[in-house]
Amino acid sequence: MSSQPFQTTQAATPPATSTFPGRDLISIRDLSPIEIETIFHLAGLLKARPSNFRTALAGKQMVMFFEKQSLRTRLTFEAGMASMGGNAFFMDQTAGRLDAREKLSDIAHNVERWVDAIVLRTYTHGTVEGMAEHACIPVINALSDLEHPCQALADYFTLLERFGDLKKICLAYVGDGNNVAHSLLLTAATLGSRIRVATPEGYGCDAQIVADARDLAQQTGAVIEILNDPNQAVDGADAVYTDAWTSMGHEHEEQVRNQIFPPYQVNEKLVAGAAPHAVFMHCLPAHRGMEITDAIMDCDRSVVFDQAESRLHVQKAILLLLLGGKVGRSNSRSANG
C-alpha cells in the first residue's frame, strides 16, 4: 500500500483510533503531532493495564522480515503481539536481502493474503518503501538505513514519563548522524521540542532529513540545532543521547571512525556540562568504553533500560492502532479511571 501519512487532524483532543487502521509507519514524517500524542497516550494505558488488552488483537497475525540481527526489536514486537492475543512469525533474512530470491512486489502480494501486518528491519530504506507500495496491509519500519521511527517514539515516550511537557526539554544527541539521529530530529520537530545534534564533520545527518525537520519546526515551534561541538550540544541539556559510532553495514569504516569519534564519547567529563537533572540515553546495543562509558551507562540517571522497555509499550500501541484492535468497555473504563 502507499506510504501515505496518517490522517492529520487539528482537533484539540487525540483522534479516535479509527483514523489509524490500514496505514503504514515508514517514517516519523507519517505522523502528525496529535497522532504521536495518541500513540503515547495509548502506550501509557498499555503499560499501566496490560491485562485489559489481552484479546485486543486476537486473530491478528504479523510477519517480521529482518535483514539485520536484533534483540530488542524482535522480542518487543513478538512479545507485544502475543500479549494482545495475536501471532507473530519471524523470517530470518540475515543470510540474504529480502528481494534477493524473489521480486519484492511478488513477496508483498503473497504476504498480504496470509497475514495482517508486515514489520521490516532492513538495510535499504527503499525496501521498506517498496513493500509499503505493493502490500495492501500495514507495513512498519522497524529500522532502515535512513530511519528508526519506533526507537525514536520509544525514546520520547521515555522522556515524557520522566519530564512531562516535551516542549520544555532539550535533548542533546552526540555521535554519528545515523538513522536514530534522523528519527529523533523528526520526532523533536513534530512535537515542538528542542534538539541539538552534534556530529563530526563529514558524519552529519542527511540534508533532506534536516530540511524536513526545520520545516516541521516552523509549524510547531521546535528548535533544531545542528552542531559539530559536543560540549556545545550538551550544555544545559535535559537529556544526553548517543549511539554506536559504526552502524551495521558500515563495519568497513570502523577503524577510521574509532579515530575520529572519541571527542564525542559520552563520559563524566562531557555530561558535566548538562543540566544537574539530565538523564543519559542510548538505543542499545552499547559498545561500552567506546561511545559511552560504564560510569554513565550504569549511573542512577541512566535511562537506557527504560528506553528498551518503552519499545514494548510504544510498539504495542502502534500495532493496536494500525490493526484496528478491539478495545472493550473495560479498557474504556480504565482510560477514564
Given 283, 307, 313, 315, the catalytic residue = 283
- Annotated catalytic residue, options 151, 265, 307, 315: 151
Which position among 155, 176, 212, 243 bears the catalytic label? 243
Catalytic residue status for 101: no
User: Of 121, 194, 257, 313, which residue is the catalytic one?
Assistant: 121
φ and ψ of 137, to 5 deg: -125, 160
Nearest to 84 by CA among 43, 125, 135, 36: 43
CB 316 within 8 A of CB 80: yes
Q: 3-state class of 56 per DSSP?
A: coil
Sign of the torsion angle spanned by Cα atoms 306, 307, 308, 311:
positive
Give the sheet arrangement for strand 117-121, strand by strand.
87-92, 61-66, 117-121, 139-141
Cβ atoms 234, 240 nearer than 8 A: yes
Q: Active site includes 7?
A: no
136 annotated active-site: no
Q: Residue 196 catalytic?
A: no
Classify the phi-psi angles of 236: left when phi > 0, otherwise alpha if psi is within -120 to 50, otherwise beta.
left
Report the alpha-carbon distance of residue 265 to residue 25 in Å, rounded: 32
Q: Active-site residue 170, yes or no? A: no
- Examine the residue annotation and report whether 151 is marked as an active-site residue of this protein: yes
Q: Which uninterrupted H or E stretch holds 170?
A: strand 170-174
Distance CA(14)–CA(122), nearest Å, equals 31
> Residues with Cβ < 8 Å from 12, sequence gap 6 or more?
none
Query: Which of 150, 311, 313, 315 is the catalytic position?
Result: 311
Among residues 29, 74, 148, 196, the one annotated as catalytic is 148
Place of cell 577503524: 255
Retrieve residue 326's grid coordinates. 478491539
| Residues marked as catalytic | 121, 148, 151, 243, 283, 311
